[in-house]
């Protein structure tokens, strides 16, 4: 290892001029040049600790870790949540058969309609939809233009190699219900059910990420829902408030929620399946 570092130190001066010439290239550089720059960058990282004479150079003492200080140690810990936010609720969707465990074969409207009759494993009430939304879902066949069920998306969110079904349902006041369904043999299980006034919904790896406006100008909420194998459900594993990036204008707080945005990716809609996306 030390021989490699010393060799890198001896050649650092030679490759530095090559790096300078490469980085002064126009925006779109040939592939060969990009490969050379990558190799130089790796060598630069390897030789970053070299001194002027080719010897290792100390970067100084590492900062000491600060142990967290507990506050009010005599305060008795809470044993139960004061509110039930519905996280971890699941429900079997009645009357829906998943042939071959392939959720892409399902009619998303039929899933949404059958889900109206589903019973959750516990009753927080947060999976319920407004009456007007329920009526619109039930009328999707006869009034498809007013159907609140958006185009479905598919992604393996549990890591088992099979796709889950992700549905969005428009609600009054520009809110959006987001629901995720998992195949379990030939059964269909709802493993996530939430709603919010969203800026956008994204699929990132195995996560569903929802961005919602904050009442603080220039800030937004960002919640990542991830699969929890012990709970057998999607849980809000990260919930944070962040500054809005400078390149994106922050939505102004209004008396009503912001408009929902379509999730990222390319939806695949089964033929003959009406959707409320427009």
Write down the mean pLDDT value for the chain.
78
Q: How far apart, in whole angstroms, are the C-alpha atoms of residue 100 and residue 260? A: 33
Q: State the pLDDT at residue 264.
A: 40
Task: Select from 33, 187, 13 the least CA-distant residue to 96.
Answer: 187
Q: State the pLDDT at residue 278.
A: 32
According to DSSP, the β-strands at 200-204 and 207-213 are: antiparallel
DSSP state of 13: H
Q: Residues 87-118: pLDDT tens digits?
A: 889 999 999 999 999 999 999 999 999 999 99
Q: State the pLDDT at residue 257.
A: 40
Q: Is the pTM of this model over 0.75?
A: no
Highest mean pLDDT among 9-18, 87-96, 146-155: 146-155
Q: Residues 16-38: pLDDT tens digits?
A: 444 444 433 333 334 444 444 44
pLDDT top residue among 250 and 173: 173
| Long-range CB contacts for residues 251-255, cutoff 8 Å, separation at least 24 | 251/199, 251/213, 251/220, 252/217, 253/213, 253/214, 253/215, 253/217
Q: State the pLDDT at residue 220.
A: 97
Give kind and range of the element (H or E) at residue 11: helix 2-23
Inter-axis angle of helices 2-23 and 31-46, to 10 degrees?
A: 140
Give kind and range of the element (H or E) at residue 15: helix 2-23
| Token pair listed for 22 | 């490469």
pLDDT at 246 over 60: yes
């Amino acid at each position: 290892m030390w021989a490699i570092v010393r060799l890198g130190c001896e050649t650092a001066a030679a490759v530095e001029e090559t790096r300078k010439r490469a980085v002064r290239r126009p925006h779109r550089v040939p592939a060969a040049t990009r490969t050379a720059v990558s190799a130089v960058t790796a060598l630069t990282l390897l030789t970053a600790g070299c001194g002027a004479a080719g010897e290792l150079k100390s970067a100084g003492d590492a900062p000491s870790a600060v142990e967290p200080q507990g506050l009010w140690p005599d305060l008795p810990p809470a044993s139960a949540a004061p509110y039930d936010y519905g996280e971890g609720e699941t429900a079997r969707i009645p009357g829906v058969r998943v042939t071959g465990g392939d959720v892409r074969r399902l009619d998303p409207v039929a899933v949404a309609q059958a889900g109206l009759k589903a019973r959750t494993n516990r009753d927080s009430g947060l999976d319920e939809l407004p009456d007007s939304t329920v009526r619109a879902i039930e009328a999707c066949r006869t009034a498809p233009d007013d159907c609140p069920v958006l185009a479905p998306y598919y992604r393996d969110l549990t890591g088992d190699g099979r796709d889950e079904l992700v549905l969005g349902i428009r609600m009054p006041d520009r809110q959006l219900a987001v629901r995720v369904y998992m195949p379990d043999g030939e059964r269909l299980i709802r493993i996530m059910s939430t709603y919010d006034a969203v800026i956008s919904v994204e699929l990132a790896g195995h996560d569903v990420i929802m961005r919602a406006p904050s009442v603080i100008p220039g800030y937004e909420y960002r919640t990542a829902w991830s699969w929890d194998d012990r709970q057998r459900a999607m849980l809000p594993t990260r919930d944070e408030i962040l500054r809005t990036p400078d390149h994106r204008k922050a939505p102004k707080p209004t008396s009503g929620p912001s408009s929902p945005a379509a999730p990222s990716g390319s939806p695949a809609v089964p033929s003959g399946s009406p959707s409320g996306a427009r």
